[in-house]
Structures are given as structure tokens and as C-alpha cells.
């Protein structure tokens, strides 16, 4: 059964900030679901501008304080644009301005505006890199370098992407250590790029190790562990090991549906991949049923 379309608020839904309903409610796109998963864009912008969560610094603009997951979709884009607009007149190397720009890059990426995203991310990366405040090994530089590599992937500039992912992985291992989530994410992204480049064996080897480490560091049900399982399934499929890929993906998808909901981008990525894996089988069934009929 198909879940309710989350773009349409359920009857009785209200903005969790002003407690009013109406047509202008927008889905938060985090893991808050049902009637609790909506707000007015303007209400959330005012809230984000007024709250300062010192422990997480600027996270109120991109992370839901109720479920601790990032906003996605229209809500993320609206907040990213509003945050960037408020900070873009600060000094070019102001930390919040750079982070708001980085976040806008993510919104551009998610709305598939890859060329604009690449221009923005490239300028942020080099600004962090050469900044006296940050420098080449600062967390912000490493994070923006990885984001730049991700958009190069989307622009199908895979050789450049693999080179940058590898560089980030080496520097993150040194700066953060091998068990840090950011290091593990770089290993995962490098694995995915190697898969695209046809280097399936190297990809599977790296992704198996990454998934194992994420399971022990973060636990088997963490969103980021499930992303690594999706990546490994993708590479196993690239290597021609469909059965193994399908089994892994089925388990991953079940957990993602429970933890993130059916409409979360991570869940959709796994269900699309599973559908593609099953496609050859379905075509085979169709052909044999046509043969039976003749
Ligand atoms: Zn409201
Ligand atoms: Zn939430």
C-alpha cells in the first residue's frame, strides 16, 4: 500500500511553531512524520534566526531539533536560501557565512542544480583552504572538499572526483582518525566513485570494510550505516553479484522505512535500486510467459 503523499498535509495538521494549519504548510522532510512533520516556512525561518544552539552552533538552520535529522526537500531549500541571504554580506571568510554558503550548496545539489553547486562549492573550498582562520586541514575545509568531490561525481567528472575523495580520505584519517564518521563517509564516497569508474573489486573491498566499521562504531540501524549498506549493494551489483546485493538491500530498505519513513531520499534511493536489480528477473519472467503463450 502506498503511504500518504507527504506533500499534502493530513487533516488536522498544524505548524509546530505557530500551531495554525492552512494551505501553506510545508513538509519538514526530516524524520518527524504525520501531523508533526509540518511547519510554515516563514515560521521556521523566524525560529531559526532567533534560536542559537551553542552546542551545535548553527545547526538550527539545517537540523530538526526534535528528531535530530536534517531537513530535506522544499523546507531545506527555503531555509538554506534564507540563511545565505542573511549572512552573505559578512566578511568573505566569516565562519557562519561560509557554512551558510556550504549549506546552500547542499540545497542546490539536492535540487540537481549541479553546475551552480560546483561553482559555489569550489569557491568555498578554496576560500576555506587558503583562509588564515581555517587552513587546509580544518574540519570545514575537509567537509567542503568532500562536498565538492560529490558534486564532481554528479557532473560525471569521476576521475577528478576520485582524486579529491582520495585526498580527503588521507587527510581525514590523519586529522580525525580512521573511525571518525567523516573519514568513514569519505571512504564510502570514494568506493561509490570507484564503482562508477568500473573498479568494482576495489570498490567492494573498501565498502565492505567501511560498512563493517560503521556497524561497530554507529550501530547497525544508524542512518549513516544504512547509507554504507546501500553503497555496498550498488557495488556488488556492479560486480555482477546481484543475489548478494538484493539480500543486503532488502534488509537495508526495511530498516530505512522504519527509521526514516517511506518518503525519505535515502529510502527512495534503496527502493529504486532494488527495483532496478529486480528488473532483469521481471523481464525474464515476461519473456518466458510470452513464450508459454505462443
Ligand atoms: Zn506557522
Ligand atoms: Zn524532525
pLDDT tens for 219-243 read 999 999 999 999 999 999 999 999 9
86 close to 49: Cβ distance less than 8 angstroms:
yes
Centre of ligand 1 from the C-alpha of residue 23, in Å = 11
Beta bridge partners of 40: 25
- pLDDT score for 204: 98
Ligand index nearest the alpha carbon of residue 47: 1
Beta bridge partners of 71: none
Handedness of CA 283, 287, 288, 290 (dihedral sign): positive
CA dist., res. 228 & res. 215, Å (int):
9
Options 1.10.3470, 3.30.40, 3.90.550, 3.40.50; which CATH number does 11-87 get? Answer: 3.30.40
Ligand index nearest the alpha carbon of residue 46: 1
Centre of ligand 2 from the C-alpha of residue 2, in Å = 22
For the chain, how are helix, strand and coil distributed in percent, rounded to 5?
65, 5, 30
Centre of ligand 1 from the C-alpha of residue 46, in Å = 10
Place of cell 557495488: 235
Centre of ligand 2 from the C-alpha of residue 35, in Å = 11
CA dist., res. 65 & res. 19, Å (int):
17
- pLDDT score for 11: 79
User: 225: Cβ–Cβ under 8 A, 6 or more apart, which residues?
Assistant: 211, 214, 215, 218, 219
Centre of ligand 1 from the C-alpha of residue 276, in Å = 40
Centre of ligand 2 from the C-alpha of residue 105, in Å = 21
At 30, list the grid cell.
526530516
Centre of ligand 1 from the C-alpha of residue 31, in Å = 19
100 close to 84: Cβ distance less than 8 angstroms:
yes
Ligand index nearest the alpha carbon of residue 19: 1
Residue range(s) of every CATH 3.30.40 domain in the chain? 11-87
At 155, list the grid cell.
557532473
Centre of ligand 1 from the C-alpha of residue 22, in Å = 9
pLDDT bracket for residue 184 (50, 70, 90): very high
Centre of ligand 1 from the C-alpha of residue 42, in Å = 7
CA dist., res. 226 & res. 233, Å (int):
11
- pLDDT score for 12: 79
- pLDDT score for 127: 87
CA dist., res. 81 & res. 242, Å (int):
41
Residue range(s) of every CATH 1.25.40.10 domain in the chain? 178-257+270-277
3-state secondary structure of 27: strand
Centre of ligand 2 from the C-alpha of residue 274, in Å = 27
Q: Mean pLDDT for the chain?
A: 90
Beta bridge partners of 38: 27
pLDDT digits (tens, 9 = 90+) for 73-108: 999 999 999 999 999 899 877 888 888 998 999 999
Options 3.50.50.60, 1.20.1050.140, 3.40.225.10, 1.25.40.10; which CATH number does 178-257+270-277 get? Answer: 1.25.40.10
Centre of ligand 1 from the C-alpha of residue 245, in Å = 44
pLDDT digits (tens, 9 = 90+) for 99-151: 899 899 999 998 899 999 999 999 989 988 988 888 999 998 999 999 999 99
Beta bridge partners of 26: 39
Q: Specify the higher pLDDT residue, 5 or 283.
A: 283
Beta bridge partners of 70: 63
CA neighbor of 63 nearest in space, from 103, 26, 95: 103
- pLDDT score for 1: 34
- pLDDT score for 53: 63
131 close to 123: Cβ distance less than 8 angstroms:
no
Centre of ligand 1 from the C-alpha of residue 34, in Å = 16
pLDDT bracket for residue 3 (50, 70, 90): very low
- pLDDT score for 6: 57
pLDDT bracket for residue 280 (50, 70, 90): confident
As to burial, measured by CB atoms within 10 angstroms (0-12 exposed, 13-18 middle, 19+ buried), residue 231 is buried
193 close to 158: Cβ distance less than 8 angstroms:
yes
Mean pLDDT of 270-277: 93
Least confident of 48-52, 125-129, 248-252: 48-52
Centre of ligand 2 from the C-alpha of residue 70, in Å = 8
Amino acid at each position: 500500500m502506498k503511504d500518504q503523499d507527504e506533500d499534502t498535509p493530513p487533516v488536522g495538521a498544524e505548524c509546530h511553531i505557530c500551531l495554525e494549519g492552512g494551505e501553506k504548510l510545508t513538509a519538514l522532510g526530516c524524520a518527524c512524520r504525520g501531523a508533526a512533520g509540518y511547519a510554515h516556512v516563514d515560521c521556521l525561518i523566524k525560529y531559526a534566526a532567533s534560536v542559537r544552539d551553542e552546542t551545535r552552533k548553527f545547526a538550527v538552520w539545517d537540523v530538526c531539533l526534535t528528531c535530530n535529522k536534517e531537513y530535506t526537500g522544499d523546507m531545506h531549500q527555503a531555509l538554506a536560501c534564507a540563511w545565505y541571504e542573511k549572512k552573505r554580506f559578512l566578511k568573505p571568510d566569516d565562519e557562519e557565512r561560509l557554512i551558510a554558503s556550504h549549506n546552500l550548496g547542499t540545497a542546490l545539489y539536492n535540487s540537481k542544480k549541479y553546475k551552480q553547486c560546483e561553482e559555489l562549492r569550489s569557491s568555498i573550498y578554496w576560500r576555506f583552504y587558503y583562509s588564515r582562520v581555517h587552513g587546509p586541514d580544518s574540519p570545514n575545509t575537509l567537509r567542503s572538499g568532500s562536498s565538492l568531490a560529490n558534486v564532481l561525481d554528479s557532473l560525471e567528472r569521476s576521475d577528478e572526483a576520485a582524486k579529491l575523495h582520495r585526498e580527503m580520505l588521507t587527510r581525514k584519517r590523519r586529522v580525525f582518525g580512521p573511525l571518525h564518521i567523516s573519514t568513514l563517509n569519505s571512504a564510502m564516497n570514494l568506493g561509490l566513485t570507484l564503482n562508477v569508474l568500473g573498479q568494482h573489486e576495489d570498490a567492494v573491498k573498501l565498502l565492505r570494510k567501511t560498512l563493517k566499521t560503521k556497524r561497530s562504531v554507529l550501530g547497525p540501524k544508524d542512518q549513516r550505516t544504512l547509507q554504507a549498506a546501500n553503497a555496498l549493494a550498488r557495488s556488488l551489483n556492479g560486480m555482477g553479484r546481484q543475489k548478494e546485493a538484493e539480500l543486503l538491500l532488502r534488509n537495508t530498505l526495511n530498516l530505512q522505512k522504519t527509521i526514516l519513513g517511506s518518503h525519505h531520499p535515502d529510502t527512495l534511493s534503496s527502493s529504486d535500486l532494488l527495483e532496478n536489480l529486480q528488473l532483469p528477473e521481471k523481464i525474464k519472467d515476461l519473456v518466458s510467459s510470452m513464450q508459454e503463450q505462443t
